[in-house]
Amino acid sequence: MESRIGAGFDVHRLTEGRPLILGGVEIPFEKGLLGHSDADVLIHALMDALLGAAALGDIGRHFPDNDPQYKDISSMKLLEKVKKLIDEEFYGISNVDITVMAERPKIKSYIDDMTEKIGEALEIDKSKINIKGTTTEKLGFVGREEGIAAQAVCLLYR
């Protein structure tokens, strides 16, 4: 059996007037993430990890941010497209591990819903998905609440 590891990282600026979507879940917060799509930083990092493990490039290659068809699109729809690309290469997903870096909001109470949605999109059991939140102890752009970052790793097999 062949195994391949992928890593993904993404950052989006917080801004007023947009909903905050993380892991496919809308989280009540006074700001949202700025981006061409729904700017779901968690899902973007995950997609890059999956694409990287399969040596399929990155999300910018598949879903360019200057393409009008992706304007305000749900990142969960893009994740489903990434799953199809992974399937076409005959890879299975062993597991994913995702870290969200944000001072606020705390994501703990939303993790079960995020895990459920990601499991459905990737057609894998929730036990293969781990999501956790952390702060940067008020340091840097995350600490100043200017943006949110996410990091993801995954293991594929075939």
Structure confidence by residue, pLDDT tens digits, 77-107: 999 999 999 999 999 999 999 999 999 999 9
Task: Report the SS3 class of residue 123.
Answer: coil
Candidate from 56-60, 66-70, 112-116, 152-156 with smallest mean pLDDT: 66-70
- pTM passes above 0.75: yes
First to last CA, the chain: 6
Binding residues for a divalent metal cation: 10, 12, 44
CA atoms of 9 and 22, how far apart (whole Å): 14
Are residues 152 and 97 in contact, defined by beta-carbon separation less than 8 angstroms? yes
Binding residues: 10-12, 36-37, 44, 58-60, 63-67, 134-137, 141, 144
